[in-house]
């Protein structure tokens, strides 16, 4: 018998109903549930002036289609969950860094974002007690924060013996710009922009999650037409990024044809999103209550025409890559992760599905359009760079079909239900399957209907440690390929 | 091999004709350069209240709009009761001087971007080290697009390079987070002189949506001298490339 409250995806409940148990019970029930196959979606500490701090956990997969919430009061220190529940590893480091509450017995406690502590002391970014190796021929390779390509900043430290990497340490936080802090007390006129820029390549994903959380808190019903257009935008975002990633992977193994074609085709998909709302990343398309732009008949026709072209071109470019033995030889067996490890560390999205972990929010906690139009879940079992690439290709094909279907059968009606103010003292968990994996927003309102908790978990937050794991035992020259096969977000992690 | 050649044939030639031919068509719903019309400032009240960054404000009895702070969200346009604020699909917005980014009623012509030193030294070869210093990665994504074959920025001798030591200057994106201040400084110092700096995107120019946050620096101008400002959130690739080409004197300034 557990004390969890089971709620549907983005359904609001009175914040007072969030079950609170003593810490020992909380710890035992979370650890047991995760050991039994549930996944830790959120573990966070909420500090409020009026009350004591509390820990809140959200689990997925404990109860069909629902999310399970539990909380407990916490003092300045508690017994860390990580030793029994590795998926809590990153969350507990975040708790310690953000609140100063100490998870005692955490095996690897150090900053994840290098933000000034509650006492104001500011750590130097990238300077931490790192996992090291000793020996005469052991060497360390340090990379970043400024990288060779046009990419975001992060610091990587490899422990090598010869060419073999024994351990990779990933230090982030260079993109930290204080979004979660700024969200508290909202919503206000910047809220939309914080959401759309949590991770620029996931504008639709985060905006969608925020809209759904806000709609739940306000009790707004979204018209069917708006839900379909949101689904359209979400799958276009997935298409653009997956196609771009496959091109980049081709580039990293030196297969230039696919790299060049996919780079261009990705742009064509972004331009479809721009046709919807004027912006290539989908800025301004979604709004609480629905969408801000309609897709009329001629536009749908035009998009279908472009999609035909994109299907043919993408198919040609990508299948060419997967037919080329030298490409396959470079990807197969590189950076492999077992299903077991993927589950333990709590991997999400295509990276998890490539390890045979059969999860997808669109099916498991279905929401909006995906409750009516199903998209098959694509998995592969090898967990290597090939698998991460191939799962993307499978998903591209399903998304193409889905977008075509939606464009042909857009329901009639309004595109936006004017949003109401948020209700006071409510709580909700909204989860969306972004192109990198699940996006979770855990939100609650105070007595005035303002956000007193806005916890964002970007899929990259779950997956960065997975990248560190796959590098073990690999050649250091395999890093670019492995890194690209995950293609994680720095800003989505750093917030 | 045959497979590769056949695919190449099917994919066709895709590099755009611009700037010799017409620019690529921008979407009808694209928010390009805004336009202010003269009118009573009282009618701007709702627009001012809707603006997330204070890009729109009132000075000397008339409205003004700072492209360097603007997120191109059009909240002002929706809120404005008499149409004083509107958006064109004009992509040309980059400017050499920060103050030239501020638009006033009736002022519709783009500001100059040409940089004398850059035009003299870098018009045939400009190597840039990109520094991502916070932000959301959308600016970086649209810089990367310029290297794809649709845009093929390399045809103008403009290239992103791996090392600051090989660069003629920096292209900076992001508001410069506290955690990137030192790295940006070191990268700037590593570029041999004479060097230029380009601030691309609302974040790098003004802090963008994060302006005022203690975790960042409201843009890069506080840390390094800036020679070209490219507005947008993110700037459209056409806006970036147009800015770069005018900056090095490869594209005529419009009157
Ligand atoms: S479009 Fe620019 S000026 Fe208008 S509200 Fe948005 S940020 Fe402000």
- For residue B135, what is the domain's CATH number? 3.40.50.12280
Find chain B residues with C-beta within 8 A of A151's C-beta: 132, 140
Q: Please tell me if residue A150 touches chain B, with a CB cutoff of 8 Å.
A: yes
Please indicate whether residue B121, judged by its CB atom, sits closer than 6 Å to ligand 1: no
Please indicate whether residue B56, judged by its CB atom, sits closer than 6 Å to ligand 1: yes
- DSSP class of residue A348? -
Is A264 in Cβ contact with B180 (below 8 Å)? Answer: no
Give the minimum alpha-carbon distance from B77 to chain A in angstroms, rounded to a whole number: 13
Q: Which two tokens stand for residue A359?
A: 């999860």
Burial status of residue B17 (CB atoms within 10 A of its CB: 0-12, 13-18, 19 or more): exposed
* Structure confidence at residue B191 as a pLDDT band (50, 70, 90): very high
Q: Tell me how far the alpha carbon of residue B50 lies from the centroid of ligand 1, in angstroms.
A: 8
pLDDT by 10s per residue, chain A, length 495: 689 999 999 999 999 899 999 999 999 999 999 999 999 999 999 887 656 799 999 999 988 899 999 999 998 899 999 999 999 999 999 999 888 889 999 988 888 898 887 766 778 888 888 888 888 888 888 888 988 888 899 899 899 888 899 999 999 999 999 999 999 998 999 999 999 999 999 999 999 999 999 999 999 999 999 999 999 999 999 999 999 999 999 998 888 888 888 988 998 999 999 999 999 999 999 999 999 999 998 999 999 999 999 999 888 889 989 998 999 999 999 999 999 999 999 999 999 999 999 999 999 999 999 988 888 999 898 999 999 999 999 999 999 999 999 999 999 999 999 888 999 999 999 999 999 999 999 999 999 999 999 999 999 999 999 999 999 999 988 999 999 999 999 999 999
**HSE (side-chain half, CA atoms, 13 Å) at B222:** 15
**Residue by residue, what is the 3-state secondary structure of B49-73?**
HHCCCCCEEEECCEEEEECCCCCCC
For the stretch B55-106, pLDDT in tens is: 999 988 888 999 999 999 999 998 887 889 999 988 989 999 999 999 999 8
What residue has token string 């653009």? A240
Q: What is the pTM of this model?
A: 0.92
- In chain B, which among 55-84 make CB contacts under 8 A with chain A? 71-75
Closest CA to A43 of A1, A86, A13: A86
- The β-bridge partners of A455 are A442
Give the closest of A194, A200, A266 to B234, CB-based.
Answer: A200
How confident is the model over B198-224, as a mean pLDDT?
93
**CA angle (B115, B184, A91) in 5-degree steps:** 140
In a domain, B90, yes or no: no
Sign for the pseudo-dihedral over CA of A227, A233, A235, A241: negative
Alpha-helical segments (H) within chain B: 2-11, 45-50, 75-79, 116-121, 138-144, 181-190, 202-206, 237-247
Dist. CA A411–CA A414, nearest whole Å = 9
pLDDT at B111 over 90: no
Q: Please tell me if residue A309 touches chain B, with a CB cutoff of 8 Å.
A: no
Going by C-beta distance under 8 Å and a sequence separation of 6 or more, which residues neighbour residue A226?
A: A289, A290, A291, A414, A415, A416, A417
Q: Please tell me if residue B174 touches chain A, with a CB cutoff of 8 Å.
A: yes
Dist. CA A17–CA B111, nearest whole Å = 58
Neighbours of A309 (CB within 10 A): 11
Nearest chain A residue to B73, by CA: A284
pLDDT of residue A120: 67
Please provide the size of chain B in residues: 255
Give the closest of A115, A278, A313 to B27, CB-based.
Answer: A278
Dist. CA A295–CA A275, nearest whole Å = 9
Q: Using CA positions, which residue lies closest to atom 4 of ligand 1?
A: B76
- Determine the residue of B33, B45, B48, B53 to mutate for testing ligand 1's pocket, defined as the one with the most ligand atoms within 8 A of the Cβ atom: B53
Q: Which pairing describes strands A39-46 and A54-63: parallel, antiparallel, or unpaired?
A: antiparallel
Q: State whether residue B90 is helix, strand or coil.
A: coil
Closest CA to B234 of B73, B14, B88, B71: B71
- The β-bridge partners of B198 are B171, B228
- Determine the residue of B30, B52, B210 to mutate for testing ligand 1's pocket, defined as the one with the most ligand atoms within 8 A of the Cβ atom: B52
Domain residues for B181? 116-247
Give the minimum alpha-carbon distance from B37 to chain A in angstroms, rounded to a whole number: 22
Going by C-beta distance under 8 Å and a sequence separation of 6 or more, which residues neighbour residue A158?
A: A140, A141, A142, A143, A165, A167, A168, A471, A476, A479
Q: Which pairing describes strands B102-103 and B62-66: parallel, antiparallel, or unpaired?
A: antiparallel
Give the closest of A190, A197, A320 to B4, CB-based.
Answer: A320
User: What are the E-state strand segments in A375-421?
Assistant: none
Q: Tell me how far the alpha carbon of residue B208 lies from the centroid of ligand 1, in angstroms.
A: 11
Superfamily of domain A186-457: Cytochrome-c3 Hydrogenase, chain B (1.10.645.10)
Give the minimum alpha-carbon distance from B250 to chain A in angstroms, rounded to a whole number: 24
Q: State whether residue A349 is helix, strand or coil.
A: helix
- The β-bridge partners of B130 are B171
Q: State whether residue A322 is helix, strand or coil.
A: helix
Q: Tell me how far the alpha carbon of residue B94 lies from the centroid of ligand 1, in angstroms.
A: 17
Q: Tell me how far the alpha carbon of residue B99 lies from the centroid of ligand 1, in angstroms.
A: 17
Looking at the structure of chain B, the number of domains it has is 1
- List chain A domain ranges: 5-102, 186-457
Q: Please tell me if residue B165 touches chain A, with a CB cutoff of 8 Å.
A: no
In a domain, B103, yes or no: no
**CA angle (A313, A318, A320) in 5-degree steps:** 100
Please indicate whether residue B138, judged by its CB atom, sits closer than 6 Å to ligand 1: no
């Amino acid at each position: 018998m557990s004390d969890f409250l089971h709620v549907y995806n983005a359904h609001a409940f009175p914040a007072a109903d969030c079950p609170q148990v003593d810490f020992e019970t909380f710890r035992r029930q979370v650890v047991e549930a995760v050991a039994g196959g549930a996944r830790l979606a959120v573990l966070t500490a909420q500090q409020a002036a009026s009350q004591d701090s509390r820990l809140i956990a959200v689990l997925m997969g404990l109860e069909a289609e629902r999310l399970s919430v539990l909380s407990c009061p916490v003092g300045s220190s508690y017994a860390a969950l990580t030793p029994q529940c590795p998926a809590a590893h990153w969350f507990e480091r975040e708790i310690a860094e953000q609140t100063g509450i100490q998870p005692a017995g955490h095996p690897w406690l150090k900053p994840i974002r290098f933000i000034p502590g509650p006492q104001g002391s500011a750590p130097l970014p990238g300077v931490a007690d790192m996992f090291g190796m000793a020996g005469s021929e052991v060497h360390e390779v340090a990379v970043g924060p400024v990288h060779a390509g046009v990419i975001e900043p992060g610091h990587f430290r490899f422990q090598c013996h010869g060419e073999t990497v024994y351990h990779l340490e990933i230090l982030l936080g260079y993109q930290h710009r204080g979004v979660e802090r700024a969200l508290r007390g909202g919503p206000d006129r910047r809220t939309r922009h914080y959401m759309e820029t949590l991770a620029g390549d996931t504008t639709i994903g985060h905006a969608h999650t925020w809209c759904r959380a806000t709609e739940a808190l306000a009790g707004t019903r979204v018209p069917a037409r708006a839900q379909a257009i949101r689904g359209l935008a979400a799958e276009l975002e997935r298409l653009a990024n997956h196609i771009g990633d496959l091109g980049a992977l081709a580039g990293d193994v030196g297969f230039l044809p696919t790299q060049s074609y996919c780079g261009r085709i990705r742009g064509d998909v972004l331009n479809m999103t721009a046709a919807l709302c004027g912006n290539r990343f989908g800025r301004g398309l979604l709004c609480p209550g629905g969408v801000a732009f309609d897709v009329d008949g001629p536009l749908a026709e035009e998009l279908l025409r472009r999609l035909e072209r994109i299907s043919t071109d993408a198919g040609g470019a990508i299948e060419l890559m997967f037919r080329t033995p030298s490409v396959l030889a470079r990807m197969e067996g590189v950076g492999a992760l077992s299903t077991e490890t993927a589950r333990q560390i709590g991997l999400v999205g295509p990276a998890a599905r490539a390890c045979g972990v059969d999860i997808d929010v669109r099916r498991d906690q279905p929401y909006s359009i995906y409750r009516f139009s199903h998209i098959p879940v694509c998995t592969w079992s090898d967990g290597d760079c090939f698998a991460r690439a191939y799962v993307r290709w499978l998903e591209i094909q399903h998304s193409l079909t889905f977008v075509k279907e939606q464009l042909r059968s857009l329901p009639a009606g309004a595109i936006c239900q004017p949003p109401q103010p948020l209700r006071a003292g409510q709580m909700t968990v909204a989860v969306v399957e972004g192109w990198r994996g699940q996006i979770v927003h855990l939100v609650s309102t105070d007595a005035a209907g303002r956000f007193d908790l806005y916890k964002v978990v970007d899929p990259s937050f779950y997956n960065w440690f997975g990248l560190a794991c796959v590098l073990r035992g690999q050649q250091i020259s395999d890093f670019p390929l492995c890194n690209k096969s995950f293609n994680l977000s720095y800003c989505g992690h750093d917030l | 091999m045959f497979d590769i050649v056949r695919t190449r044939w099917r994919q066709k030639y895709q590099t755009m004709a611009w700037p010799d031919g017409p620019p690529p068509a921008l979407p009808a719903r694209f928010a390009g350069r805004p336009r202010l019309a003269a009118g009573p400032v009282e009618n701007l009240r709702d627009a001012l209240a809707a603006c997330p960054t204070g890009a729109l404000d009132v000075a000397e009895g008339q409205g003004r709009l700072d492209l360097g702070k603007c997120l191109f969200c059009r909240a002002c346009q929706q809120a404005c009761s008499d149409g004083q604020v509107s958006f064109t699909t004009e992509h040309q917005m980059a400017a050499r001087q920060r103050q030239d980014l501020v638009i006033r009623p009736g002022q519709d012509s783009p500001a100059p971007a040409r940089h004398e030193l850059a035009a003299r030294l870098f018009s045939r070869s400009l190597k840039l080290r990109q520094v991502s210093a916070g932000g959301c990665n959308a600016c970086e994504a649209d810089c990367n697009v310029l290297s794809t074959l649709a845009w093929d920025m390399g045809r103008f001798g403009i290239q992103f390079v791996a090392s600051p030591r090989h660069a003629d200057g920096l292209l900076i994106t992001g508001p410069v987070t506290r955690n990137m201040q030192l790295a940006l400084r070191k990268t700037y110092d590593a570029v041999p002189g004479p060097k230029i700096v380009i601030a691309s995107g609302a974040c790098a120019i003004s802090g963008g949506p994060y302006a005022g946050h203690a975790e960042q620096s409201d843009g890069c101008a506080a840390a390094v001298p800036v020679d070209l400002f490219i507005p947008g959130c993110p700037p459209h690739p056409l806006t970036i490339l147009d800015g770069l080409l005018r900056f090095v004197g490869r594209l005529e300034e419009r009157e």
